[in-house]
Copies of this chain bind each other. A is one copy, B any other.
Amino acid sequence: MTYELYYWTGIQGRGEYVRLALEEAGAAYTDMARVEGDGVIEALAEAIDTPSFAPPVLKHGDVVVGQTSAILFYLGGTLDLAPLDERLKLWTHQTQLTIADFVLEGHDVHHPLGAGKYYEEQKPEALRRAKEFRDERVPKFLKWFETILARNPAGPEFLAGDRLSYADLSLFQVMEGLHYAFPKLMGRIGREFERVEDLRERVRARPNISAYLRSERRLAPNENDLFRHYPELDG
């Protein structure tokens, strides 16, 4: 049964976390808006009892699910990308939710006054928020990922247990975003988080991920995306 992903065209965005899971698993899926246009997103929401507040939305047979972390929770089961043990399954999900918080903070750096205004309308505020993000938040999040990798009883190869989960793919994607948006910051502090950087490289080298990253399906990062490279916010 083919998966249908409903997400805006033109950016990696939150849809990318879903794409990485589908690509790693070699699942058959259609990126609906890229095929039919962004209008399919609203059309789906109008047609069902359980419309999502915002994309991404995944349709898989009778299941229609929104919220990136909930989608990945579902895919963790159907694509075998989560631990089977219930405690580790919950831990994987908890880790994903923290990654989602990190992603949102990465977005709010350039939109501290809300998504309804352009970056150019809130640049002084973005400069102030970026300083806290660079000095406090990025190190705090990365230290947490480093700590949980170090404490994993199965070793530091994966975030949870002894095999790949969607959370590992998501951490890869966040790190890609951070390096794109904040090359100076990451050049300075990245090596302090060796286990996180190693995980990123292992994910990148996986055959299906590697093939995906070289394909046309992988969009380049840009300044409409969640993580944006504004040199004045880096440092």
Contact = CB atoms under 8 A, between A and B. Distances in A.
A116 B108 CA distance: 14
Main secondary structure of the interface of A (DSSP, over half): helix
Contacts of A114: 112, 129, 132-133, 136-137
How many copies of the shown chain assemble into the complex? 2
Nearest to A63: B87
Interface in A48-69: 49-53, 62-63, 65-67, 69
Interface in A64-118: 65-67, 69-70, 73-74, 87, 90-91, 93-94, 97-98, 101, 104, 108, 112-114, 116-117
A141 interface: yes
Contacts of A97: 67, 69-70
Interface of A: 49-53, 62-63, 65-67, 69-70, 73-74, 87, 90-91, 93-94, 97-98, 101, 104, 108, 112-114, 116-117, 122, 125, 128-129, 132-133, 136-137, 141, 144, 147-148, 151-153
